[in-house]
Amino acid sequence: MARIGDLLAAGRTFSFEFSPPKSAAGSMSLGRTIAELEPLAPSFVSVTYGAGGSTREHTRDTVLWVKKETNVPPMPHLTCVGHTRQEITDIISTYVEAGIENVLALAGDPPKNPGDAAPSDFTYALELVEHLRTISDVGIGVAAHPEGHPRSRDLATDRRHLAEKLRVTDFATTQFFFDIDHYLSLVNDLADLGVTKPVVPGIMPVTNIAQVERMAELSGAAFPSWLREKLEAGKTAEEVRQIGVDAATELCAQLLEAGAPGLHFYTLNKSTATREIYAQLGLPVA
């Protein structure tokens, strides 16, 4: 294992994000996906956390399985929503005991039903980060939104909050975006605020218009008209999928040329698009 901050200091990282499966069939499917992606030698994988901490046990079990059964360092997501300080301490103790060295600290989304909300001692990710620093020595990453967090008052405020988090953490991974200018603007704005910690861009290959449109709306990312027009020109589902993969490949090439510290792929628990992007970019495969 290694701290992700150290991996980024040594060179570019290439990483993947998964959601924890909720069934035996889902576990088998994710296991196949990870096996298919292992030859790409990912620097690490991250495992998401459901709204209101709803997948906390599934996240923990998935992270511990990846740590035990693969050679890929796992990074669990951890959220403010629905957690007390003691619960966070207990979760981190489990991870540290298993040899897990990194977490992604997030504010998190509230549960769909407000009545399901569990008590929480945290409101903002920075508060969670500060608690983590008092109880452990794990590497800590945070989330960045190139187009601004959907709950932020304005972009300038969002940038200041992100800069404050990055000053006391190791790196950030971004929400997905489709235009490189959004990423470059984010990095430049942070530099103007005196922060140059690594910000790893998040990549979402569009293989299903409706699905990504919903996700973009929730995350505050714009679904650009030029990409929609390209995708809608596809005559079959396979043509649409290939257009999405090609667009993501082009964005990755632009980011690498611009000096991005790595690439973080939102896989939706599937491997095909990511493997195709790797091949088109000519990235090394074990």
Calpha distance 163→166 (Å, rounded) = 5
Strand partners, 143: 173
Expressed in percent and rounded to 5, the helix, strand and coil fractions of the chain are 50, 15, 35
107 close to 80: Cβ distance less than 8 angstroms: yes
51 closest CA partner among 18, 23, 83: 83
Calpha distance 121→22 (Å, rounded) = 27
Residue 259 is encoded by which pair of tokens? 């000096």
Residue 194 is encoded by which pair of tokens? 């005196």
Calpha distance 137→243 (Å, rounded) = 43
Calpha distance 168→190 (Å, rounded) = 14
11 closest CA partner among 198, 201, 146, 278: 198
User: Is 204 strand, coil or helix?
Assistant: coil
17 is catalytic: yes
Catalytic residue among 17, 38, 101, 217: 17
173 close to 204: Cβ distance less than 8 angstroms: no
Active site residues: 17
